[in-house]
Amino acid sequence: MSAPQAPLQLKTWPPLLTGARLSRWLTIRDVLLTVLAWGLLGWLLRDSMYLTYDYLRHPVFELTTAQPPDFVMIWGRLQYFVLISVALVALLSLWALIDRRRLLAVTRTPQPAPLAIAEQAARAGINEKIVSEARKFKVTNVRFNEDGSISGFEEAIRTRAAGATIEPSSRQLDG
Picking from 35, 51, 67, the residue at the C-terminal end of a domain is 67
Tell whether 79 and 103 lie within a shared domain. yes
Query: Are residues 159 and 144 in contact, defined by beta-carbon separation less than 8 angstroms?
Result: no
Q: How many domains does the chain have?
A: 3
Is residue 13 domain-resident? no
Whether the model pTM is above 0.75:
no
Contact 151, 134 (CB under 8 A): no
Alpha helices in the chain (DSSP H): 24-44, 46-56, 71-98, 100-108, 117-124, 128-134
Per-residue confidence of the chain (175 residues) as pLDDT tens digits? 555 555 555 566 677 767 777 789 989 999 999 999 999 999 999 999 999 999 999 999 999 999 999 999 999 999 999 999 999 999 999 998 988 888 787 777 788 888 899 998 888 888 888 888 888 888 888 888 888 888 888 887 754 444 444 444 556 666 6
* Residue 168 lies in domain: 126-174
Instruction: Note whether 78 and 105 are same-domain residues.
Output: yes
- Look at residue 12 and tell me if it is in a domain: no
Q: Are residues 93 and 105 in the same domain?
A: yes
63 and 75 within one domain:
no
The rounded Cα 143 to chain-centroid distance in angstroms is 28
- Residues 45 and 79 placed together within one structural domain of the fold: no
Strand, coil or helix: 30: helix
